Structure 1
Amino acid sequence: MRKIAIEDVDVEVHPHGIHSVRRPVSEALDTDHFAMNYFELEPGEAFSGGLHTHHDQEEVFYIRSGEATFEVADAPDSEATESVTVGAGEVIRFPAGEFQTGYNDEESEEPVVGFALGAPASKHDWEEIEAAIPCRECGEETGHGVSLSEEGQFEYTCMACGHRFAI
């Protein structure tokens, strides 16, 4: 058994600065088969760095307070997204392979507080994450493989032309 208070979990900063408070609860609990992150999103902040999917993990988001917006797509194409609003006390589930991104609208007047839950693993298999971004070489908005460099930068590989770049 392991017990912790959410406020005792250290804040982990995203390399792109997309949110100010993310607490990796599952890391603090040392879970093996379940991921849990606590978020506080100010207006304009996001849960993740953009439209993406986990091919090996389903995700559930529980919104404790505020109202989050999620963009959802079946393919890595931001033009084909559906917008879904999730309010306080509501949950939304994304199966493995469905593209999504969630955020607190910049016009919002209140923060979003919520949890991101994932299974069946407590840590991402980087080879199973696919980001939907425009390629800097071929210009196509397509799926990109994602990895994390030793310096903590995200590295992307275009699935259309193979071009690699880091942000």
Structure 2
Amino acid sequence: MEKVAIDDVENSLQPAAVMRHLTEPLGLADFAMNYYELEPGDSFAFAYHRHEVQEEVFYVQSGTATFQTEAGEIEVSSGEIVRFAPGEFQRGWNRGDEQVIALAFGAPLKYGEQVKLRECPTCGEATDNEIERRSAADASGGEVAVTICKNCGTETGKWTKGSMSGEVP
């Protein structure tokens, strides 16, 4: 048995105000579990994406999350659950005025190949991106996450903890 207090798990650098990876602290071997708190405008992910082998399930505990999908936008409200099959593109946002609290589950634990689509100003279209983590260039000593177009190397987004600079929902 493993027991974890969510507030005791370190906040991860993500496009969400709070994102806590619970997989490792709980010793999970067969699926991933993450806790999210999204402020208005925050997102669950860095990009519109899909996982080759992992299915994802989001349980919205409070607020309303809006997911961008190939079929259009879908709202998932408090007490509702949404599942995305392997290979299905999605990205969830908090487009409302109140905080969203949610849990995300993924199985199997491995993603397989991931495709992360973001608009690239140089290429003029949505392209596959990679995510790089770097040390902040300022004196903060913090970490920065940057999305980079795989086609041309252009930076398409940048995040620091508590900041969504470069992000357009």
1:109 aligned onto 2:97: yes
Higher relative helix content: 1
Distance change (3 Å), C-alpha of 1:104 and 1:32: same
Paired residue for 2:77? 87
Paired residue for 1:20? 17
Distance change (3 Å), C-alpha of 1:13 and 1:153: closer
Output the CA distance in 1 between the equivalents of 2:16 and 2:133: 20
TM normalised by structure 2 equals 0.76
Equivalent of residue 86 in structure 2, options 96, 102, 107 = 96
Provide the aligned length of Structure 1 versus Structure 2.
148
Deviation at 1:136, TM superposition (A): 4.4
Paired residue for 2:160? none
Gap regions ≥5 residues in structure 1: 74-80
Instruction: Determine helix, strand or coil for the equivalent of 2:61.
Output: strand
1:46 aligned onto 2:43: yes
TM normalised by structure 1 equals 0.77
Output the CA distance in 2 between the equivalents of 1:111 and 1:61: 15
Equivalent of residue 119 in structure 2, options 134, 143, 147 = 134
Identical amino acids, percent of aligned pairs: 39
Q: Is the 8 A contact 2:50 2:116 kept in 1?
A: yes
Given residue 114 of structure 2, which amino acid in structure 1 is its aligned partner? Answer: I
Output the CA distance in 1 between the equivalents of 2:57 and 2:129: 22
1:146 aligned onto 2:138: no
Distance change (3 Å), C-alpha of 1:56 and 1:157: farther
Q: Deviations over 1:122-152 (max 9, x none)?
A: x655xx111122334432324x153545656
Gap regions ≥5 residues in structure 2: 136-143, 158-169
1:59 aligned onto 2:56: yes
Q: CA RMSD in A?
A: 2.2
Paired residue for 1:5? 5
